[in-house]
């Protein structure tokens, strides 16, 4: 039996990278999926390729009214929300912490942090009425093992891990589980920002820090998210799951 049969999942940042892989993997396991992204053309392409159990929604996660509209569209189409994946993320380019301008800092804070607040306000009451729910955030190994060059991004992901644990404690009695994923840098459109520059030399340097010897790929993260979203993880909450090939050891 499909592991997410009868469930509905919203995934932000789902037009590409980790989010796209989650949308496809969840749909393979029977879920209705909402492909939410600022890039509506990309989101529509992903949703169309998945089929009629997918809905594309233009969503700027930095704006509360767009989060609310995303949730409303989901309820109108599918009637419930079982899984909320806060996957949309943003980073400054690897470099000096003093070289990051204020606008970039504000965008990192809005996408990586405040959006989690907005989605919680919108979906927690629905999950509470339903009697269950699963909230998953794509954090990062950067929040667990911060390294020079990505200071403000690292801090935002540390915040995401902390809020995951706090939400898990508060929402546990409502049967709402809250977990996050901590991937190592992977084959996504943001790789160049994380590395400073996407060159074979920089990739080789980064791979040398990972015991399993490669970057993450979207399917690695999608499979981990699938487990946390499924009933197989019904006693798992407050976890920051490392999907990193051993980098954080």
d(CA 42, CA 52): 16
Nearest to 240 by CA among 170, 162, 174, 187: 162
pLDDT the model gives residue 195: 77
Rg (CA), the chain: 17
Which residues fall within 8 angstroms of residue 17, CB to CB, at 6 or more apart? 186, 188, 189, 190, 218
Length of the chain: 249
For the chain, strand residue ranges (E) read 8-12, 32-37, 54-58, 83-86, 133-138, 176-183, 240-243
Q: Residue 133 has which token pair?
A: 């729910």
pTM for the predicted model, two decimal places: 0.95
Q: 156 with 113: CB under 8 angstroms? A: yes
Does residue 153 have an active-site annotation? yes
Residue 65 burial (CB count, 10 A) = 9
pLDDT the model gives residue 199: 84
Nearest to 13 by CA among 65, 73, 62, 82: 62
d(CA 204, CA 13): 27
Residue 204 burial (CB count, 10 A) = 9
pLDDT the model gives residue 192: 74
Under DSSP, the state recorded for 112 is: I
Residue labelled with tokens 């269950």: 132
Nearest to 96 by CA among 20, 37, 167, 151: 151
Catalytic residue among 90, 117, 118, 153: 153
Q: 100 with 201: CB under 8 angstroms? A: no
d(CA 175, CA 164): 15
Would you write out the chain's pLDDT as a tens digit for each of its 249 residues?
799 999 999 999 999 999 999 999 999 999 999 999 999 999 999 999 999 999 999 999 999 999 999 999 999 999 999 999 999 999 988 989 999 999 999 999 999 999 999 999 999 999 999 999 999 999 999 999 998 999 999 999 999 999 999 999 999 999 999 999 999 987 777 777 777 778 888 888 888 999 999 989 999 999 999 999 999 999 999 999 999 999 999
């Amino acid at each position: 039996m499909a592991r997410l049969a009868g469930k509905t999942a919203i995934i932000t940042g789902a037009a590409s990278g980790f989010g796209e892989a989650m949308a496809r993997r969840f749909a393979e396991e029977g879920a209705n999926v909402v492909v939410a992204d600022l890039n509506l053309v990309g989101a529509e392409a992903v949703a169309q390729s998945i089929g009629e159990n997918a809905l594309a929604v233009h969503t700027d996660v930095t704006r509360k009214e767009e989060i609310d509209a995303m949730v409303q569209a989901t309820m109108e189409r599918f009637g419930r929300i079982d899984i909320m994946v806060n996957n949309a993320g943003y980073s400054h380019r690897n470099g000096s912490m003093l070289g990051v301008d204020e606008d970039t800092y504000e965008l990192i804070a809005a996408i990586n942090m405040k959006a989690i607040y907005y989605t919680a306000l919108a979906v927690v009451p629905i999950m509470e009425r339903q009697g269950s729910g699963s909230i998953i955030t794509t954090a990062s190994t950067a929040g667990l093992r911060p390294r020079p060059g990505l200071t403000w991004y690292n801090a935002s992901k540390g915040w995401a891990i902390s809020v995951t644990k706090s939400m898990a404690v508060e929402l546990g009695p409502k049967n709402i589980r809250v977990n996050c994923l901590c991937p190592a840098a992977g084959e996504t459109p943001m790789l160049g920002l994380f590395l400073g520059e996407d060159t074979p030399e920089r990739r080789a340097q980064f791979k040398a820090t990972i015991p399993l010897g490669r970057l993450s790929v979207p399917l690695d993260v999608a499979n981990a998210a699938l487990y946390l979203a499924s009933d197989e993880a019904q006693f798992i909450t407050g976890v920051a799951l490392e999907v990193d090939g051993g980098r954080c050891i």
